[in-house]
């Protein structure tokens, strides 16, 4: 019975590994959030943080629209009511205490109304104590390095040049290696850099944080939809700043476990070969 269970488990693990391998080779994956021509709104949010950012954005949009309309009305009143033709004898009023209290107090109330949800959002984005795994991101001139401390996996991701872009891929957005993370998993994100400032940005995740040399910044994410997501470096970091794309594949937890197993096996091969060569040389 155990043999059958082992065989079935190996079969499904192989299928999952194959699926991940094909995705890395350029087989199209769904992209639940991607900019479109003539798009006016933000990219579709796929994390709790991104959803709150969108809500805050919409809240601010209402406030600035009301303020803009109010200021426009005041300007029009001044233009048509108090021009030289309709008001040849201007008022000599020097001040109005009530009016001055209103135009001081109302902006303060507006700023407080903006500040409260803003600070709540910043606190929500900051960090989490319930992380199920950790992903460390290191910025370099000009590529990204990734490390999975819990799984003991690390690799570099370099941008694909124009002659390497295949059908269905996006120029300046593709990399030779993809970050792979499981869906519906709370992930701690750590950021640092080896040289200058960079910024790891995935709009659909609501993540945009600087990577600073000698410092570790922290945030978190929890992606709720499987698929492929794109981002770029958002901090001017040198001549190849525009050639630091980010590609993240969000997969099922089973597929992620299979990917981890594949990466660990691939990393172990050179060590095994080195051990065999060392043993042969010592004979």
Q: Could you give the domains of the chain?
A: 48-87+96-126 (no CATH), 133-271 (2.60.40.420)
The per-residue DSSP string of 48-80 comes to HHHHHHHHHHHHHHHHHHHHHHHHHHHHHHHHH
Q: What is the rounded distance in angstroms from the CA atom of residue 151 to the CA atom of residue 255?
A: 14
Whether residue 22 is predicted with pLDDT greater than 90 in this model: the reply is no
Q: What is the rounded distance in angstroms from the CA atom of residue 144 to the CA atom of residue 101?
A: 53
Whether residue 189 is predicted with pLDDT greater than 50 in this model: the reply is yes
Question: How many residues are there in the chain?
Answer: 283
Q: What is the rounded distance in angstroms from the CA atom of residue 223 to the CA atom of residue 115?
A: 27
Helices then strands, counting H and E runs in the chain, come out as: 4, 10
Q: What is the rounded distance in angstroms from the CA atom of residue 201 to the CA atom of residue 228?
A: 14
Sign, Cα dihedral of 64, 65, 71, 72: positive
Interval 30-87: pLDDT, tens: 888 888 888 888 999 999 999 999 999 999 999 999 999 999 999 999 898 888 888 8
Which pLDDT belongs to residue 7?
43
Contact 228, 19 (CB under 8 A): no
């Amino acid at each position: 019975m155990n043999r059958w269970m082992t065989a079935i488990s190996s079969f499904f693990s192989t299928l999952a590994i194959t699926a991940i391998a094909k995705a890395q080779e350029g087989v199209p994956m769904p992209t639940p959030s991607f900019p479109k021509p003539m798009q006016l709104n933000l990219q579709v949010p796929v994390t709790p943080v991104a959803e709150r950012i969108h809500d805050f954005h919409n809240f601010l949009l209402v406030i600035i629209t009301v303020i803009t309309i109010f200021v426009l009305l005041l300007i029009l009143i001044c233009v048509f009511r108090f021009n030289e033709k309709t008001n040849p004898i201007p008022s000599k009023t020097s001040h109005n205490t009530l009016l001055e209290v209103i135009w001081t107090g109302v902006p303060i109330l507006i700023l407080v109304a903006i500040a409260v949800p803003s600070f709540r959002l910043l606190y929500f984005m900051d960090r989490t104590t319930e992380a199920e795994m950790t992903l460390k991101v290191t910025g370099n001139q000009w590529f990204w390095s990734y490390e999975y401390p819990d799984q003991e996996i690390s690799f570099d991701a370099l941008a694909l040049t124009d002659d390497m872009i295949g059908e269905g891929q996006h120029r300046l957005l593709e990399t030779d290696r993809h970050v792979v993370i499981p869906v519906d998993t709370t992930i701690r994100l750590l950021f640092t850099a080896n040289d200058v400032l960079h910024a790891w940005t995935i709009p659909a995740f609501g993540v945009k944080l600087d990577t600073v040399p000698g410092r570790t910044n922290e945030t978190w994410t929890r992606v709720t939809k499987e698929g492929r997501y794109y981002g770029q470096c958002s901090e001017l970091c040198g001549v190849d700043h525009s050639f630091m794309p980010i590609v993240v594949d969000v997969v099922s937890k089973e597929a992620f476990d299979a990917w981890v197993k594949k990466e660990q096996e691939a990393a172990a091969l050179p060590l095994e070969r080195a051990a065999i060569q060392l043993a042969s040389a010592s004979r």
